[in-house]
Chains A and B, each alone.
Chain A
Amino acid sequence: MNAIIAVIGQDKQGIMAKIAATCAEHNANIADINQTIMQKYFAMIMLADISAITCSFADFSQAVQATGKSLGMKVHVMHEDIFTSMHKI
């Protein structure tokens, strides 16, 4: 079971480290990372395996979003199925 963590905002130091630390804290395993600069914004997409997380999905989502907020970044944590069902037949 995978979650997509999308982090969007102005590029700065430590974004990946802090989000990854929050994931590790909740036992989520980062399987893939992709980052890109869109216009002047930084967009980092992480694929995290959440099958062994130590809390509910909602709590995990809130924790990652809180980390993002402390960095001044917008973070969306969404189950991978929404993207696969929308973009793949």
Chain B
Amino acid sequence: MTNTRDILETIGMIQEENLDIRTVTMGISLLDCAASSAEKSCTKIYDKITFLAQSLVQVCDAISAKYGIPIVQKRIAVTPISLLAGTDTTANPIDFAKTLDRAAETVGVNFVGGYSALVQKGFTNGDRRLILSIPQALAETARVCASVNIGSTQAGVNFDAVAVMGQIVQQAAQLTQAENCIGAAKLVVFCNAPEDNPFMAGAFHGVGEPDCVINVGVSGPGVVRAAIKRSNDLNITELAELIKRTAFKITRMGQLVGAEAARNLGVPFGIVDLSLAPTNAQNDSVAHILEEMGLEICGCHGTTMALAILNDAVKKGGLMAASNVGGLSGAFIPVSEDAGMIAAVEQGALSLAKLEAMTAVCSVGLDMVVIPGDTPAETIAAIIADEAAIGMINNKTTACRIIPAIGKTVGEELIFGGLLGKAPVMAVNQHSPLKFITRGGQIPAPLQSLRN
């Protein structure tokens, strides 16, 4: 029989340290739903999603009961809708968003990702129309998430798209001002977007993916923190080893659940995304891990290195635990979803500049960061550009999910509730990047792209 200590350790991780499977995400290709009219496409989309995902929630709930581990979210990611919206030039892309929303409601998932466009090297007509419709689509639907990939190491950065996305983020917040600007929280601007990411709001189903696939995102910041707390006197080499071992155990859980979910649903198992994804719960914070490593507070000098060690050790530990690793994989640093990050911002220890530095070594980017509502669109675009630069040059995914708090300024906060949490408004640099942003054009692919 399994060692008693191991059994109690696993139970302790789930019961005391908030270990969970954060998301089981079904990726569905909609390429075969493209029809001559938007109306026909939408009918096919609704039918395909509701057929393939009809038992997704039920299967996940049964696995959750069998293993005694919570599966927090069940979600769907689809082919970037811009590819379908382009087939009918008279179509209103909002119809696609409403179809996705309806399908998600029918199968009982809380988010569907893929109201997306990939424009790193230029726009198609479908891309352009979809991007311009994003603010309205997010305001008029509850479950749809949007993302736009504006750059990559291979292609460089579409600087026209950067300028447009500054405006789109602002409009998404403005149109949903009455609902705490939630529109902007459902919109991610990527550089080097992964095509198999199971986490919202940036999930979409890439064109190189199979027809239908199950991807899993594991979590567990609380488990890593507790392990470090129990072993107080380790040097940094030993600490990295401890994090690796802990990440291995967490990821094995994801592998087990993902493989079984895929088998029971009769679709291939894609990847495990071994991310430390914090939630607002007291025991589930990436910032608290960094503090447990020895920082007085997240955001002080040393934070970037601590995060780099954590991110690297998580990947190394997780890599051996899963048959296929993908998605974002690493440590997330979403401000509003992390009790430690929120506290650090409130105490003035964590600034936007420090967060930007941290995104060079974390797995994603500026995530759930609330900025003053009167921030000009070109400044938002410039924040996106800076993140894209970090991603493009370092061959990594970077993302921006920034929320202009319309009508609010520094000293106030935006409360989303639920998993999205709450965040204080953070100060942005007041000097203008207007001329730079309005130059437009394509930023050439960097030297790093020439790897052949």
Q: In angstroms, how far is the closest chain B Cβ from the Cβ of A69?
A: 15
Question: Does any Cβ of A come within 8 Å of B441's Cβ?
Answer: no
Contact with A along B1-30 (1 / 0, CB 8 A): 111101111110001000000000000000
Q: Are A43 and B4 in contact (CB under 8 A)?
A: yes
Tell me the smallest distance from the CB of A48 to a CB of chain B, in Å: 11
Task: Of the listed stretches B62-70, B296-304, B341-349, name the one at the interface; the rest are far from the partner chain.
Answer: B62-70
B256 touches A85 (CB 8 A): yes
Contact A84–B7 (Cβ < 8 Å) = no
In the bound assembly, the distance between CA atoms of A11 and B345 in angstroms comes to 46
For A79, the chain B residues whose CB sits under 8 A away are 66-68
Q: When chains A and B are docked, how far (Å) is the Cα of A34 from the Cα of B5?
A: 11
Question: When A6-B11, A87-B249 are in contact, do A82 and B6 touch as well, CB less than 8 Å?
Answer: no
Q: Digit string of B51-70 for contact with A (CB within 8 Å is 1, else 0)? A: 00000000000100111110
CA distance A32 to B66 in the complex (A): 20
Q: Which of B7, B15, B69 has the most CB of A within 10 A?
A: B7
Q: Mark B62-85, 1 if CB is under 8 A from A, else 0.
A: 100111110000000000000000
Whether A34 contacts B6 by the Cβ 8 Å rule is no
What secondary structure prevails in chain A residues at the interface with B? strand
**Residue pair A83, B69 in contact (C-beta under 8 Å):** no
Is residue B252 within 8 Å, beta carbon to beta carbon, of the partner chain? yes
Q: Does A25 contact B (CB under 8 A)?
A: no
- In the complex, chain A residues 34-89 whose Cβ is within 8 Å of any chain B Cβ: 34, 36, 38, 43, 45, 47, 57-58, 61, 76-88
Contact among B1, B3, B67, B68 with A32 in the assembled complex (CB-CB below 8 Å): B1
A61 to B68, CA, bound (A): 10
**Are B65 and A6 touching (Cβ within 8 A)?**
no
**Shortest Cβ gap from B89 to chain A (Å):** 51
Q: Are B8 and A84 in contact (CB under 8 A)?
A: no
A76 to B69, CA, bound (A): 11
Contacts of B249 in A (CB 8 A): 86-87
Q: How far is the CA of A4 from the CA of B4 in the complex (A)?
A: 10
Contact string against A for B residues 253-268, beta-carbon threshold 8 Å, 1 for contact and 0 otherwise:
1011000000000000
Q: Are A82 and B8 touching (Cβ within 8 A)?
A: no
B255 cross-chain contacts in A, Cβ below 8 A:
85
Interface size of A in residues (CB-CB distance below 8 Å): 27
Contacts of A34 in B (CB 8 A): 1, 4
A58 to chain B, nearest CB (A): 5
Specify which chain A residues have a CB less than 8 angstroms from the CB of B3 in the assembled complex.
87
Bound-state Cα–Cα, A83 to B249, Å: 10
Residues of chain B in range 115-132 having any CB-CB distance to chain A below 8 Å:
none
CB <8 Å contact, A84 and B11: no
Complexed CA–CA distance, A84 and B256 (Å): 10
Query: Are A58 and B256 closer than 8 Å at their CB atoms?
Result: no
Inter-chain CA distance A73–B140, complex, in Å, is: 48
- Contact call A76/B253, Cβ cutoff below 8 A: no
CB distance from B444 to the nearest CB of A (A): 46
Contact B6 A87 (CB under 8 A): yes
Interface string of A15-44 (1 = CB under 8 A from B): 000000000000000011010101000010
Q: Which are the 5 A-B pairs with shortest beta-carbon distances?
A: A78-B68, A87-B6, A82-B67, A83-B2, A85-B256
- Can you list 11 pairs linking A and B with CB atoms under 8 Å apart? A8-B8, A58-B62, A78-B10, A78-B11, A78-B69, A81-B256, A82-B10, A82-B253, A82-B256, A87-B9, A88-B2
Starting from the known contacts A57-B65, A77-B68, 17 additional A-B residue pairs (CB-CB under 8 Å) come to: A4-B2, A6-B11, A31-B1, A34-B1, A36-B4, A43-B8, A45-B1, A45-B8, A78-B10, A79-B66, A82-B10, A82-B68, A83-B7, A85-B256, A86-B256, A87-B10, A87-B249
